[in-house]
Amino acid sequence: MSDQPTSKEDHPTGEGFIPHLAVDAVIFGFHDKQLKVLLMQYSKTGLYALPGGFIRQNENLNDAAKRVASERTGLTDIFLEQFHVFGDLARHDPTPFASFMAANGTEPDADHWLLQRFISVGYFALVDFTKVTPTPDKIFDSCGWYHLNALPPLIQDHTAIVNKALDSLRIMLDDKLIGFNLLPEDFTMGDLQSLYETILGKSLLRPAFQRKMLGLGILERVAKKYSGGAHKAPYLYRFVYK
Amino acid sequence: MSDQPTSKEDHPTGEGFIPHLAVDAVIFGFHDKQLKVLLMQYSKTGLYALPGGFIRQNENLNDAAKRVASERTGLTDIFLEQFHVFGDLARHDPTPFASFMAANGTEPDADHWLLQRFISVGYFALVDFTKVTPTPDKIFDSCGWYHLNALPPLIQDHTAIVNKALDSLRIMLDDKLIGFNLLPEDFTMGDLQSLYETILGKSLLRPAFQRKMLGLGILERVAKKYSGGAHKAPYLYRFVYK
């Protein structure tokens, strides 16, 4: 879609985009019991922000979220899910955009469309951060993974957006696990428990965890193949609807 | 807020409102094992719709949802919760608004702001329908409760919005139960189970239900008062965070 304007420099009037409405993506990365989040740094400002952008007049909202996340970060094929809309007046803070534009050679008018109030639809995704290489677009100097417990200050209400995304992810985990496609096709109960523990940020007791997971009806046990000493290997499971 | 324009007749240009963005409310009513939803009928058209409206430029999104639901239906003090944003291009269908305006003496231009694409933030609420008397505003002929399994045809994608709301309500029920304030301060496990069964649309086994509810950590058992034969009365519970 590089033939259409997508970044701030490209659409000084906002034409072709829905005004006052944005999308922001909280992309969680997990691996080896670590949970991180993907942040961008606006060019020449040092300001950290979630990857975000705007919705075209002729574009589905969910497609806009995918496009924006892909353009900003270089990530494709991630499963983005809506979790909350941030629409308080108090979140309106034009200073980061004004700083960005000033640092990059533009002095915006006070009524510039980017400095107006935005309501933002929050999306989250969960990926294995060792399997993706985020790449910033031209309006950002960097794009990288930050530990959730050591985030830098973020612009506007983006820290609150991250926290709300984490709450939502934890509540929706049982329902979203299949869609997020985080595990290999066949996995052990230990793999699954480790994933849950990383996201929930706490240890779980194996028997209760296993009972709950089997009770959800989303797992099937894979028939063991005979391979000599393999009878001591743990059972493998896969998602029923995968 | 009757000094400000809120209904279609009152703001022919849409000025003061955020363009392209709406809120729609799915207000579920339950009582005695029945689950209903509140629908409006546009004046002189026979068209059924969810109560919905628009967001003022100077208004928090969540406040707009409360105001719109209250103005449309006369209901106040209901706990509205965001559940999904409907933003597909395919939902754009200007014919109901055009019909409504034509039936009420206005021939709108094709580029009238109400006939343009809208992205709608869906909210739901759950109330005891015997405790509220819905009252339509001036742009609707009626406002009433309809059984979920016998809904009339609705405009645009409103039937899909109702279905998505019900899915979300069922998924989020454990988390939302306290906020929705549906039960008296003290209630029996049977009261609680009946509420769940009504919303989930299926019977539940008492021992498993009781175990799950007590496991959520949101209930405390109320100390029994001595009152003669009352030792045979069922235990009463209340929400811990109520």
Tens digit of pLDDT per residue, chain B (242 long)?
Answer: 333 444 444 566 788 999 999 999 999 998 888 999 999 999 899 999 999 999 999 999 999 999 999 999 998 888 899 999 999 999 999 999 899 989 988 888 888 999 999 999 999 999 888 888 898 888 888 999 999 999 999 999 999 999 999 999 988 887 777 667 778 889 999 999 999 999 999 999 999 899 888 887 889 999 876 566 656 788 999 988 64
Of B137, B158, B180, the domain-final residue: B180
Closest CA–CA distance from residue A136 to any residue of chain B (Å): 27
Q: Collapsing DSSP states into helix, strand and coil, what is residue B72?
A: helix
Q: Collapsing DSSP states into helix, strand and coil, what is residue B119?
A: strand
Closest CA–CA distance from residue B175 to any residue of chain A (Å): 8
* B172 and B213, same domain (yes or no): no
Given B20, B61, B172, which is nearest A85 (Cβ)?
Answer: B61
Q: Collapsing DSSP states into helix, strand and coil, what is residue A146?
A: strand
* A99 and A212, same domain (yes or no): no
pLDDT score, position A224? 73
Q: Say whether A119 and B175 touch across the interface (CB within 8 A).
A: no
**Whether the predicted pLDDT of A230 surpasses 60:** no
Pairs of residues, one from chain A and one from chain B, whose beta carbons lie less than 8 Å apart? 64
The 8-class DSSP code of residue A31 comes to: E
For B105, the domain range is: 8-180
For residue B58, the chain A residues in CB contact (below 8 A) are 89
For residue B113, the chain A residues in CB contact (below 8 A) are none
CA dist A185 to A177, B87, B102, Å? 13, 32, 57
d(CA A119, CA B200): 33
d(CA B26, CA A97): 36
Q: Which of A17, A56, A61 to mutate to test the interface with B (most CBs of B within 10 A)?
A: A61
What would the mean pLDDT of A39-49 be, rounded to a whole number? 93
pLDDT score, position B2? 35
d(CA A155, CA A97): 10
Q: Which of A15, A17, A21, A91 to mutate to test the interface with B (most CBs of B within 10 A)?
A: A21
Given A18, A60, A121, which is nearest B20 (Cβ)?
Answer: A18
In a domain, B3, yes or no: no
* B163 and B216, same domain (yes or no): no
Residue in B163, B38, B161, B20 with CA at minimum distance from that of residue B92: B20
Given strand B219-221, what is the order of strands in its sheet? B187-188, B236-239, B219-221
In a domain, B2, yes or no: no
* A111 and A220, same domain (yes or no): no
Count of domains for chain B: 2
In a domain, B1, yes or no: no
* B68 and B145, same domain (yes or no): yes
Do B86 and B50 form a contact (C-beta atoms < 8 A)? no
Q: What confidence tens digit (pLDDT) does each residue in B136-194 have?
A: 888 888 999 999 999 999 999 999 999 999 999 988 887 777 667 778 889 999 999 99
Q: Say whether A88 and B61 touch across the interface (CB within 8 A).
A: yes
Q: What confidence tens digit (pLDDT) does each residue in A163-186 have?
A: 999 999 988 887 777 667 778 889
Read off the CATH number of the domain in which B89 is found: 3.90.79.10
